[in-house]
Structures are given as structure tokens and as C-alpha cells.
């Protein structure tokens, strides 16, 4: 099989991280697999893929929302058996390229989110139904993602749930643990929380920041990521006089080490397709606290702790619960066991089956 995976870019993000982790695993099971980016991005993610001899090509340095990009996609159809697309607008451009070229190539799409702005717009809802109908198969990264997409486009045999996976051993090996011991963001006596996510409305770091006011001063916070709301969050930290307790680390590529350094992994999202960072924290043997939203709930329930969206008081109580050593160890053990269900190999195997079924139909 010859597979081409297409995504908007290789900037930081859950879908991008998933591609970087999974494509080398795919390469061991298919004839060859390449990556196509709508927008050129010389990032650590791209370097990592290329270091594993994965061919990465890009289409433009301009806007990835330029509809003319679908013309540039068309020539790739002749070189591959299956196109595997991720994210919007890649979804639209790949489907339009197929329609205009009259190609019979199969398009597999991974649905990464439970919600987006298009679903609240009547016109885009109609366009989405048309676009999704042209896909061969759709893999939804969680039950919540599946349910929400089904409500959006209607019931379809094309939809299936294929949960995300991670390279489990990346988060629980001696080298990573040793490096984590060298980090000194806070003192060894502190109880450190970490949230890894971009700074946008969906991730709601403000609730997590506010929870610190209700907790002992030894509770500290690492915020990893970047985005247009970062300055607002920095201002909130100043207003609440928490400067000594919160560090903004920006985009980082040493997430396994940071997860091992912290005591608790938190995800305060308003909505979430899957929450890959939740599994990463679990794989590092850390207890996880996450907002009680579809996509994340399925992972965390019966292992980690859940709190009501936007409720800093409830979140602070969950954190205090984990400051008890016995509670901490019990939840950490449950989370580590839960992480074993989300191996990258399992995810890849499921998509390989889909690829094969698409090729047989063609």
C-alpha cells in the first residue's frame, strides 16, 4: 500500500503530534507512507518525521485557506492508493480535488473534534454533509466525537470509532525520568500541576489558574503551549498575585520529561475531541484531573478525576484530594493502567484495516 497523509501543517497540536508519532509506525506496515502539508512549517515536528526518513512535502507558505490549494493536491492522487486527511480546511481541499479531477482514490478522514464553528452555521452544515458524503471512511477519535459527528451529518456506515494512541514507552522510561529530575522550575517540596494545551477559548486555562487561589501556596502550575489568549492568562496571573506560582513555558517538545516532572496532569477544556495529553499524563504514571466533557470523560472516568467545566472550586477540591499520599497513589496507579489501552500500535492497526478495505473496494 502507498499512503499519503495530509494535514494543515506540523505546528504544535494534538493532531499534529499524533501524526508525528504514528507515521513511523505506519511505515513498518505499508509499502511507503508520505506526509503532505498544506502550509510549509519548519518545526521540530517536521524535523522529527524527516529524521525517521519520512518524506514531507508542503504546498504553500501562504494561507492554508486559499481554495486554489486543491489544484496543487490533484497531482498527488496518481502516486498513492489511499489519502488519509486530517483537520479543516484539509478536509475540504482534498475532497474538492478529488471531485474536480474525477479521481477514484479513496479518502480516509480522521475526525479530531467533538465541535467546531461550522456546525453552528446552517450553510456550512449543508456543505459539510456534502463533503463528508464524498469520504470513503471516517475514523472518530472518541465515542463523543462519533456521536457529535453523527448528529451533524446523519448516520453513516462510513463512521467508526478509532481512539487515538501514543508511544507509551516514551513517557515511562529511565532516560526520561532522569532528565525530569534535572528540571528546577519549582522547589522539590512543591506540588506541581501541569496543563499542556494551546491558549484558546476551548482550553480554559483561566479556571485552572483561579483554582490556585483556593489551594496552599505550595501548589504550583506549569502551563505549556502558546496562542492568542496567552497574554490574557498572564494578566490574570498578575491580577491574582500568582506570579511566583505559575510559569508559562511556551511551546515545548520535551512533554514526556515535563509530565514526569509534574505531580498532576490537568486538562480544563470546555470541549475536547479526545485529549491526547490526558493519556500522556497517565502513561507517565501521573494522576489526571480533567473537565467532565465528552471525549475526555471516556478516558478519565473510573481512573482519574473529573470536575464540572469552569468550576474552579470543584477543581481545587480534586487537587486537594490528590495531595493526600494514599489518594494520590491509588489514582496514579489506576491512570497508568488505563493508559495501556491507548497504544499507538493499536490505533495504526485499526487504520491499516480501513486502508485495506478501501483498496479492495476500488
Q: What is the CATH classification number for the domain harbouring 7?
A: 3.40.50.2000
Lowest average pLDDT, out of 94-98, 120-124, 203-207, 339-343, goes to 120-124
The proportion of the chain whose per-residue pLDDT surpasses 70, expressed as a percent, equals 99
Q: What percent of the chain stands above pLDDT 90?
A: 89
* Residue 35 sits in the same domain as residue 119: yes
The per-residue pLDDT for 144 is 87
Q: What is the mean pLDDT of residues 144-155?
A: 92
- For 171-225, what is each residue's pLDDT tens digit? 999 999 999 999 999 999 999 999 999 999 999 999 999 999 999 999 999 999 9
Is the pLDDT at 93 greater than 90? The verdict is yes
What is the per-residue pLDDT for 120?
87
**Gyration radius of the chain over CA positions:** 21
Rounded Cα gap, residues 93 and 134, in angstroms: 12
Q: How far apart are CA 233 and CA 58, in angstroms?
A: 33
Count CB atoms within 10 A of the CB of residue 361: 10
**Average pLDDT, integer, range 238-245:** 98
pTM: 0.83
* 242 and 282 both lie in a single domain: yes
What mean pLDDT is predicted for residues 231-243? Answer: 98
Burial 281-320 (b: 16+ CB within 10 A, else e): bbbbbbbbbbbebbbbbbbbeebbbbbebebbebbbebbb
87 and 74 both lie in a single domain? yes
Strand partners, 233: none
Same domain membership, residue 268 and residue 143: no
Residue 362 has pLDDT above 70, yes or no: no
Residues 63 and 200 in one domain: no
Query: Measured between alpha carbons, how far is 129 from 127 in angstroms, rounded to an integer?
Result: 5
Does 17 share its domain with 153?
A: yes
Tell me the three-class secondary structure of the chain, residue by residue.
CEEEEEECCCCCCHHHHHHHHHHHHHCCCCCEEEEEEEECCCCHHHHHHHHCCCCEEEEECCCCCCCCHHHHHHHHHHHCCEEEEECCCHHHHHHHHHHHHCCCCEEEEEECCCCCHHHHCHHHHHHHHHHHHCCCEEEECCHHHHHHHHHHHCCCCCEEECCCCECHHHHCCHHHHHHHCCCCCCCCCCEEEEEECCCCHHHCHHHHHHHHHHCCCCEEEEEECCCCCHHHHHHHHHHCCCCCCEEEEECCCCHHHHHHHCCEEEECCCCCCCCHHHHHHHHCCCCEEEECCCCCHHHHCCCCEEECCCCHHHHHHHHHHHCCHHHHHHHHHHHHHHHCCCEHHHHHHHHHHHHHHHHHHC
Model pLDDT for residues 27-86, shown as the tens digit of each residue: 999 999 999 999 998 898 999 999 999 999 999 999 999 999 999 999 999 999 999 999
d(CA 138, CA 64): 22
Tell me which residue of 114, 42, 101, 75 sits closest to 269, measured CA to CA: 114
User: CB of 67 within 8 A of CB of 96?
Assistant: yes
Q: Decide if 101 contacts 94 (C-beta within 8 A).
A: no
Q: Is the pLDDT of residue 230 over 70?
A: yes
Do 259 and 311 lie in one domain? The reply is yes
Please state the separation of Cα 345 from the chain's center in Å: 17
pLDDT, position 42: 87
Domain count, the chain: 2
What pLDDT sits at residue 218?
98
Same domain, 328 and 352: no
Q: For the segment 276-331, what is each residue's pLDDT rounded down to a tens digit? A: 899 999 999 999 999 999 889 999 999 999 999 999 999 999 999 999 999 999 99
Instruction: Work out the pLDDT band at 226, boundaries 50, 70, 90.
Output: very high
348 and 315 housed in the same domain:
no
Q: Note whether 16 and 48 are same-domain residues.
A: yes
pLDDT of the residue at 361: 65
- Omega within 30 of 0 (cis) for the link into 89: yes
Q: Which domain holds residue 133?
A: 2-165+343-361
Characterize 51-73 residue by residue with b for buried, 16 or more Cβ atoms within 10 angstroms of its Cβ, and e for exposed. eeebebebbeeeebeeeebbebb
Q: Calculate ∠ Cα 214-198-219, nearest 5°.
A: 25
What's the mean per-residue pLDDT of the chain? 95
Q: CB neighbours of 256 closer than 8 A, spacing ≥ 6?
A: 170, 171, 176, 280, 284
Chain position carrying cell 496562542: 227
What pLDDT is stored for residue 360 in this prediction? 66
- Segment 235-258 mean pLDDT: 96
Residue 269 has pLDDT above 90, yes or no: yes
Could you tell me if 60 and 118 lie in one domain? yes
Mean pLDDT, residues 156-183: 95
| Same-domain pairing of 335 and 267 | yes
Place of cell 467508526: 160
At 116, the pLDDT band (50, 70, 90 cuts) reads confident
Predicted confidence band of residue 92 (pLDDT cuts 50, 70, 90): very high
**Residue 167 in this model has a pLDDT that exceeds 80:** yes
Amino acid at each position: 500500500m502507498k499512503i499519503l497523509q495530509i494535514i494543515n501543517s506540523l505546528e504544535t497540536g494534538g493532531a499534529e503530534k499524533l501524526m508525528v508519532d504514528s507515521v513511523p509506525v505506519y511505515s513498518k506496515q505499508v509499502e511507503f507512507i508520505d506526509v503532505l502539508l498544506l502550509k510549509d512549517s519548519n518545526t521540530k515536528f517536521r524535523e522529527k518525521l524527516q529524521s525517521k526518513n519520512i518524506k514531507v512535502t508542503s504546498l504553500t507558505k501562504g494561507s492554508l485557506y486559499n481554495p486554489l490549494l486543491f489544484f496543487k493536491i490533484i497531482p498527488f492522487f496518481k502516486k498513492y492508493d489511499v489519502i488519509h486527511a486530517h483537520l479543516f480546511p484539509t478536509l475540504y481541499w482534498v475532497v474538492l480535488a478529488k471531485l474536480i479531477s474525477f479521481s477514484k482514490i479513496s479518502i480516509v478522514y480522521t475526525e479530531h473534534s467533538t465541535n467546531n464553528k461550522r456546525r453552528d452555521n446552517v450553510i456550512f452544515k449543508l456543505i459539510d454533509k456534502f463533503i463528508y458524503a464524498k469520504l470513503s471512511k471516517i475514523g472518530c477519535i472518541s465515542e463523543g466525537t462519533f456521536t457529535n459527528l453523527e448528529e451533524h451529518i446523519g448516520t453513516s456506515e462510513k463512521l467508526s470509532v478509532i481512539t487515538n494512541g501514543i508511544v507509551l514507552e516514551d513517557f515511562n522510561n529511565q532516560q526520561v525520568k532522569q532528565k525530569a529530575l534535572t528540571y528546577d522550575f519549582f522547589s522539590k517540596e512543591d506540588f506541581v500541576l501541569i496543563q499542556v494545551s494551546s491558549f484558546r477559548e476551548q482550553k480554559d486555562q483561566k479556571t485552572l489558574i483561579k483554582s490556585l487561589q483556593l489551594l496552599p501556596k505550595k501548589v504550583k502550575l506549569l502551563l505549556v503551549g502558546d496562542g492568542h489568549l496567552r497574554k490574557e492568562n498572564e494578566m490574570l496571573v498578575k491580577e491574582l498575585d500568582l506570579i511566583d506560582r505559575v510559569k508559562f513555558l511556551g511551546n515545548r517538545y520535551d512533554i514526556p520529561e515535563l509530565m514526569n516532572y509534574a505531580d498532576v496532569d490537568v486538562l480544563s477544556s470546555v470541549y475536547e475531541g479526545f485529549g491526547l495529553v490526558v493519556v500522556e499524563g497517565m502513561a507517565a504514571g501521573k494522576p489526571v484531573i480533567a473537565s467532565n466533557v465528552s471525549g475526555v470523560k471516556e478516558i478519565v472516568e473510573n481512573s482519574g478525576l473529573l470536575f464540572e467545566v469552569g468550576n474552579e472550586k470543584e477543581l481545587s477540591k480534586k487537587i486537594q484530594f490528590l495531595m493526600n499520599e494514599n489518594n494520590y497513589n491509588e489514582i496514579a496507579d489506576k491512570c497508568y493502567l488505563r493508559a495501556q489501552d491507548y497504544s499507538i500500535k493499536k490505533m495504526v492497526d485499526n487504520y491499516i484495516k480501513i486502508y485495506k478495505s478501501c483498496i479492495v473496494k476500488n
